[in-house]
C-alpha cells in the first residue's frame, strides 16, 4: 500500500526534480558511445601474414577467450539489448509523471547528437571509398555502411519508448491531441526528425501548467 501511494503521488506531481530514470538515460548514452570502442578492442589482433582460418581463430581465442572471433559480434548486440531494456524500463515506470519521460528522452537524444554526426561522417567516408582504386572496398564499404545504419537506427530507437510513454501520458492528461501525438510517435524512428519533434514537445510542455 505504501509503495502504491508513493507511486500515485509521483504521478500527480509536476515531474520536476531528480528521477532514477535519468540515470538510465545517462547509462544508455555512455554504453552507446562505448560499444564501438569495445567492438574495436575485441577484434582479434592478428599478424597480416596469417592466412589460415584455424590460426586466426586460435589467435582470437588467445585474445578474447572462449568466444574467440565471435566476441565482436556479441558486443555489436549491445544496442539491441539497450533497446529492449529501455522498453522494459519505460513500461515499468508507468507511474512517473510525463515530464520524467520527456526529460529522459531529451537527455538521450541531445547527448547522442555527436555520436550520429560521427556515424554520418563514417558513412560518407566509406561511401567515397567505393570509388577508390582499392577494389575490395567496392564490396566492404556497402556492408560497413549497412551495419552502421542499422546500429545507428537501433541506438536511435532506444529513446523512443520514453517519448512514446510521454506522448501517451500527455494525451491522457489532455495536453496533446491524439493525431499530433501519433505523428510525433512515428517520427521518433527517423533520424533528425526525432530530435526536432522532441524539441517541439519540450517547448509545448514548458507552456503547460501541470
Question: In terms of Cα–Cα distance, which of 171, 168, 151, 163 is closest to 193?
Answer: 163
Cβ partners under 8 Å of residue 159, min gap 6: 25, 28, 86, 104, 105, 108, 109, 112, 188, 194
Sequence ranges of the domains in the chain: 2-33+75-206
pTM: 0.83
Q: What is the DSSP string of 176-196?
A: S-HHHHHHHHHHTTSTTHHHH
| pLDDT for the residue 52 | 62
| pLDDT for the residue 50 | 57
| pLDDT for the residue 11 | 44
Alpha carbons 179 and 154: distance in angstroms, whole number: 25
Do 140 and 115 form a contact (C-beta atoms < 8 A)? no
Alpha carbons 35 and 147: distance in angstroms, whole number: 14
The one-digit pLDDT tens for each residue of the chain (210 residues) are 443 443 443 444 566 788 899 999 999 999 999 988 888 888 766 665 555 677 666 766 777 677 767 777 788 889 999 999 999 999 999 899 999 999 999 999 999 999 999 999 999 999 999 998 888 888 989 999 999 999 999 999 999 999 999 999 999 999 999 999 999 999 999 999 999 999 999 999 998 866
Alpha carbons 175 and 57: distance in angstroms, whole number: 57
Alpha carbons 117 and 36: distance in angstroms, whole number: 14
Amino acid at each position: 500500500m505504501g509503495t502504491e501511494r508513493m507511486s500515485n503521488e509521483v504521478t500527480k506531481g509536476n515531474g520536476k526534480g531528480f528521477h532514477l530514470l535519468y540515470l538510465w538515460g545517462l547509462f544508455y548514452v555512455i554504453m552507446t558511445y562505448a560499444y564501438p570502442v569495445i567492438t574495436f578492442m575485441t577484434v582479434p589482433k592478428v599478424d597480416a601474414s596469417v592466412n589460415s582460418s584455424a590460426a586466426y581463430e586460435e589467435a582470437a581465442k588467445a585474445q578474447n577467450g572462449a568466444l574467440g572471433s565471435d566476441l565482436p559480434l556479441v558486443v555489436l548486440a549491445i544496442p539491441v539489448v539497450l533497446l529492449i531494456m529501455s522498453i522494459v524500463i519505460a513500461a515499468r515506470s508507468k507511474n512517473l509523471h510525463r515530464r520524467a519521460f520527456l526529460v529522459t528522452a531529451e537527455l538521450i537524444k541531445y547527448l547522442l547528437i555527436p555520436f550520429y554526426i560521427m556515424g554520418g561522417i563514417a558513412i560518407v567516408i566509406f561511401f567515397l571509398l567505393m570509388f577508390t582504386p582499392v577494389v575490395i572496398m567496392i564490396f566492404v564499404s556497402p556492408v560497413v555502411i549497412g551495419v552502421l545504419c542499422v546500429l545507428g537506427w537501433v541506438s536511435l530507437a532506444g529513446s523512443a519508448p520514453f517519448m512514446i510513454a510521454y506522448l501517451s501520458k500527455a494525451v491522457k492528461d489532455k495536453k496533446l491531441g491524439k493525431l499530433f501525438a501519433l505523428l510525433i510517435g512515428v517520427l521518433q524512428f527517423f533520424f533528425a526528425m526525432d530530435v526536432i519533434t522532441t524539441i517541439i514537445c519540450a517547448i509545448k510542455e514548458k507552456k503547460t501548467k501541470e
